[in-house]
Amino acid sequence: MHEFGFKDNELYCEGIKITDIAKTVDTPFYLYSYKTLVDHYKKLKTAFKPINPLIAFSMKSNSSLAVVRALVKNGAGLDIVSGGELYRARLAGVDPKKVVYAGVGKKTEEISSAIEFGILFFNAESEDELDEIQSIAARFGKKVSVAIRINPDVIPKTHRYIATGKGGTKFGLDFETVHKIFNMRWKYPNLNLNGVHVHIGSQILDAGPFEDAIKKTLDFLKTYKIDVEYFNIGGGLGIMYSVENPQTAKNFAKRVIPLLKKSGLKIILEPGRFISGNSGVFVTRVIYTKRTPRKKFLIVDGGMNDLIRPSLYEAYHKIIPVKVSEHSSETCEKVDIVGPICESGDFLGKERLLPQAVKGDILAVMGAGAYGFTMSSNYNSRPRPAEVMVMGKNYYVVRKPETYEDLVKGETIPKALK
* C-beta separation of 275 from 71 below 8 A: yes
Same domain, 255 and 131: yes
256 and 296 share one domain:
no
pLDDT recorded at residue 71:
98
Residues 99, 86: Cα–Cα separation, whole Å = 9
- pLDDT tens for 191-211 read 999 999 987 765 655 667 778
Which pLDDT score, from 0 to 100, does residue 158 have?
41
Same domain (yes/no): 20, 42: no
Q: Residue 242 has what pLDDT?
A: 54
Residues 188 and 249 reside in one and the same domain: yes
Say if residue 182 is in the same domain as residue 261: yes
Query: Are 39 and 155 in the same domain?
Result: yes
Cβ atoms of 281 and 373 closer than 8 Å: no
102 lies in the same domain as 199 = yes
Within a domain: residue 379? yes
For 281, the domain range is 4-31+277-407
Which residue among the candidates 243, 342, 353, 416 is catalytic per the annotation?
342
Residues 6 or more apart whose Cβ sits within 8 Å of residue 160: none
Q: Dmax of the chain from CA atoms? A: 73
Last residue of a domain, one of 275, 310, 328: 275
Give me the count of residues in the chain. Answer: 418
Among 275, 305, 324, give the residue marking a domain's end.
275
Residue type, 288: Y
Instruction: Give the model's pLDDT for residue 211.
Output: 82
Q: Which regions of the chain are under pLDDT 70?
A: 1-2, 154-171, 201-207, 236, 238-247, 326-330
Q: What is the DSSP string of 108-121?
A: HHHHHHHHHHT-SE
* DSSP summary character for residue 237: B
Residue 416 lies inside a defined structural domain of this protein: no
Which alpha helices (H) appear in 143-248, and where do they start and end?
Answer: 175-183, 208-223
Helical (H) or strand (E) element with 58: strand 54-58
Residues in Cβ contact with 372 at an 8 Å cutoff, skipping those fewer than 6 apart:
30, 62, 280, 282, 306, 307, 309
What CATH number is given to the structural domain containing 317? 2.40.37.10
CATH code of 54's domain = 3.20.20.10
Rounded CA-CA distance 233/269 in Å is 6
Nearest to 101 by CA among 91, 89, 92, 93: 89
Judge whether 331 lies within some domain: yes
* % of the chain exceeding 70 in pLDDT: 90
**395 with 389: CB under 8 angstroms?**
yes
Q: At what angle do helices 83-91 and 108-117 cross, to 10 degrees?
A: 30
Q: Residue 161 has what pLDDT?
A: 40
- Do the Cβ atoms of 286 and 61 come closer than 8 Å? no
Does residue 189 fall inside a structural domain? Answer: yes
Active site residue 13: no
Indicate if 253 and 329 belong to the same structural domain.
Answer: no
Per-residue CA distances from 403 to 134, 141, 344, 383 (Å):
43, 45, 26, 6
C-beta of residue 321 within 8 angstroms of C-beta of residue 9:
no
Beta carbons of 372 and 35 less than 8 angstroms apart: no
Query: Is beta strand 230-232 parallel, antiparallel or unpaired with respect to 191-197?
Result: parallel
Could you tell me how far CA 220 lies from the centroid of its own chain? Answer: 29
pLDDT score recorded for residue 5: 93
Q: Residue 365 domain-assigned?
A: yes
Give yes or no for a cis peptide into 271 (omega within 30° of 0): no
Is residue 415 one of the residues assigned to a domain?
no
Contact 151, 128 (CB under 8 A): no
Shared-domain flag, residues 242 and 224: yes
Same domain, 27 and 160: no
Pair (239, 376) in one structural domain:
no
Torsion angle (degrees, nearest 10) of CA 373, 374, 380, 386: 30
SS3 322: coil
Question: How many CB atoms within 10 Å of residue 185?
Answer: 11
- Number of domains composing the chain: 2
Question: Among the three residues 217, 240, 275, which one is the final residue of a domain in this structure?
Answer: 275
Report how far Cα 17 is from the mean position of its chain's Cα atoms: 26
In a domain, 73, yes or no: yes
Domain match, 297 and 249 both: no
Q: State the Cα–Cα distance between residues 390 and 310, nearest whole angstrom.
A: 25
Answer yes or no: is 324 within a domain.
yes
User: Which of these, 264, 259, 348, 257, lies nearest to 310 by C-alpha position?
Assistant: 348
